[in-house]
């Protein structure tokens, strides 16, 4: 039973150490740049979709 605790402790230490090293390797400036570019792309896509939907509704009306 004592070896199970050592194995769990070793496993938890290994996982936490690995996550900490990965966290320290992140280039935060690059991550922020990526998030901002993604937000601009999503906003642009949404705006174009709304504008095209408006134009489609406006020009597809049947004229008397």
Cα 26 to Cα 32: distance, rounded to the nearest angstrom: 11
User: How many separate domains does the chain show?
Assistant: 1
pLDDT the model gives residue 7: 84
Range 17-38 average pLDDT: 94
Higher pLDDT, 30 or 2: 30
Q: Is residue 40 part of a domain?
A: yes
Q: Is residue 15 part of a domain?
A: yes
Q: Is residue 64 part of a domain?
A: no
Banded model confidence at residue 31, pLDDT cuts 50, 70, 90: very high
DSSP 8-60: HHHHHHHHHHHHHHHHHH--HHHHHHHHHHHHHHHHHHHHHHHHHHHHHHHHS
Domain range for 28 is: 2-59
pLDDT the model gives residue 11: 87
Banded model confidence at residue 25, pLDDT cuts 50, 70, 90: very high
pLDDT the model gives residue 63: 63
């Amino acid at each position: 039973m004592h070896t199970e605790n050592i194995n769990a402790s070793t496993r938890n230490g290994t996982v936490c150490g690995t996550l900490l090293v990965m966290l320290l390797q992140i280039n935060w400036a690059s991550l922020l740049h990526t998030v901002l570019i993604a937000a601009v792309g999503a906003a642009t896509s949404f705006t174009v979709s709304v504008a095209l939907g408006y134009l489609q509704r406006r020009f597809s009306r049947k004229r008397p």
